[in-house]
Amino acid sequence: MKILGLPVAPGITIIEQLDTWGISRKEFALRMDYSEKHMIDILKGKSEITTEIANRLASVLGIPADFWLGLEQIYRLSLKKKEEEERIEEEEKILNKIPYLDMVNQGWVASTRIVVEKIRNLKEYFGVAKLLKIQQTENVAFRISSKYQSSSYAIAAWLRKGQIDIREKIDYPEFDKSKILTEVIPEIKNSLIHETNIFNVNKLLIGILKKAGIYFTVTQSISKASINGAVTWINKRPLIQMSLKGKFADIFWFTLFHELGHIYFEHSKKEVILDLSNESTGSEILENQANNFAVKFLYPKEFANLAKKSLISKGDIMKFSKKYNLLVGIILGRLMHDEVLDWSQYSELRVKLK
């Protein structure tokens, strides 16, 4: 029975009968041979009408048992349907905050126009029974400053992709911090830092970092998730997740060395460290430590002398690049970042990963 869209308990029909025949609740309980409390539960729909109750109702009210059982069945079904509708409504509100189309464009979820399918795909993607839970499972994305609040779900989706990417990497060496200095950094600087092909960089980095038991993955950035990189500890191993935002080689390598710094100092092993374009979830102390690490290991000591020069020519940069075997773009990017050079100066020398 459905009135104004709300499920109506069979108890209402019983009350109508009692009112029609002028039977009090007390008398009704007596005739049914139930306690008054039990009777009230039946009238309010709290107690289900069983065959036993339906038989007693038939004797007391003169209306057959199958009528009452039928009412009960309709009531329970409409309750279930209403619950389901409310649940989908609730999930739809969250769905509207998730950049589904961006995720489709990246190939993270399947394209569909059906709301229920979108919800199902997202539950699978985030590994939750209800979309409401994403706020807790990806809580770092939701704790960052208010100006990013509208993009919390975009950041959550981006971070989750990293976890999905490494799910199958079961056979991985144990994390060995000392190898960051003895193997990872020397190998990157000797063999990789001049490489500008994204596919090669990605493939080679995975191999080099694996030696120290560090996972690596590149996750393209999506709109409203302005992330450079992140470190997440999974299975006692760190995962470096990079976005290639802007694709500038200097930003990419500096971010990578910055994340290596977070890992080397074993910052925040319990929580994701998220490095956004203009802020980070790590404390200022941790951020400075990671930045200093990157400067120390990415640039030779003599870099300070170059930066001190009052007039830096193109030739100076080229010469320095050759001498210290460092990509011109990486030198230039640092000089710009430190405001020694203006962003427009020699910008043609800046290198992008392709």
Which residues would be at the binding site for Zn ion (CB under 5 A)?
275, 280, 282, 287, 290
Phi and psi based region of residue 352 (left: phi greater than 0; alpha: psi -120 to 50; beta: remaining): beta
Q: Which is nearer to Zn ion, 283 or 305 (CB)?
A: 283
Instruction: Give the shortest CB-255-to-Zn ion separation in angstroms.
Output: 9
Q: How far is CA 99 from CA 104, 154, 209, 222, in A?
A: 9, 6, 31, 9
The closest alpha carbon to 117, from 150, 79, 155, 125, belongs to 125
- With the C-alpha atoms ordered 320, 324, 328, 333, is the resulting torsion angle positive or negative? negative
Residue whose CB is less far from Zn ion, 188 or 290: 290
Contact 257, 307 (CB under 8 A): no
Tokens of 196: 């500008």
Q: How far is the CB of 249 from Zn ion (least distance, A)?
A: 19
Residue among 72 and 259 whose Cβ is closer to Zn ion = 259
Which of residues 256 and 336 has its CB atom nearest to Zn ion in the complex?
A: 256
Residue type, position 257, single letter: F
Q: Between 59 and 283, name the residue whose CB sits nearer to Zn ion.
A: 283
Distance CA 205, CA 21 (A): 84
Q: Cβ of residue 251: shortest distance to Zn ion, in angstroms? A: 13
Cβ 266 to Zn ion shortest distance, Å: 13
Polymer length in residues for the chain: 354
Between 179 and 262, CB nearer to Zn ion: 262
Q: SS in 3 state form for 286-298?
A: HHHHHHHHHHHHH
CB of 332 to Zn ion, least distance (A): 22
Whole-number CA gyration radius for the chain: 32
| Minimum distance of Zn ion from residue 275's CB (angstroms) | 4
The alpha carbon of residue 170 and the mean position of all alpha carbons in its chain are separated, in whole angstroms, by 22
